[in-house]
């Protein structure tokens, strides 16, 4: 399944990014900041995995439902992340600003990193640059 491969690539990137982020935040703010960063990264990967599973399963069966399921996956993910964060904050297990910044930042970096590499995964097409074009000259 394509979505599983995509999430796997993003999770591998998170494994490379994670120690750097967690180490830097741990050195700067102590163990609570480091733990909060780990929580943010785990929540990011969980959210991406859940969204990929929902959207991927619909794409195979009913492509015409992609938009509503995409919006539903976004809403469900946002609700779950909010609920988990509120629960962790209520028991004072995380430092919310660090978790929030890591959650948002890692989503952006992982999704943009995947989008930037998407051109490498497109099968060869018959399209060629036009003659006289800067790329085709």
pLDDT of residue 36: 95
**pTM for the model:** 0.79
Residue 19: how many CB atoms within 10 A of its CB? 10
pLDDT of residue 124: 53
Contact 56, 119 (CB under 8 A): no
Question: What angle separates helix 31-61 from helix 66-90, to the nearest 10 degrees?
Answer: 160
> Which residue positions in the chain have pLDDT lower than 70?
1, 118-137
Question: For the chain, what are the domain ranges?
Answer: 2-121
Please write the tens of the pLDDT for every residue from 85-114: 999 999 998 999 999 999 999 999 998 988
């Amino acid at each position: 399944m394509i979505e599983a491969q995509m999430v796997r690539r993003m999770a591998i990137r998170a494994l490379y990014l994670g120690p750097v982020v967690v180490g830097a935040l741990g050195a700067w703010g102590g163990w609570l900041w480091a733990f909060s960063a780990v929580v943010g990264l785990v929540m990011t990967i969980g959210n991406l995995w859940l969204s990929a599973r929902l959207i991927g399963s619909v794409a195979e069966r009913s492509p015409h439902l992609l938009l509503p399921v995409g919006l539903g996956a976004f809403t469900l993910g946002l609700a779950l992340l909010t609920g988990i964060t509120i629960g962790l904050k209520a028991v004072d297990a995380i430092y919310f600003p660090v978790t929030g910044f890591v959650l948002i930042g890692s989503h952006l970096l992982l999704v943009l990193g995947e989008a930037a590499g998407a051109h490498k995964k497109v099968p060869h097409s018959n399209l060629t640059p036009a003659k006289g074009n800067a790329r085709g000259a």
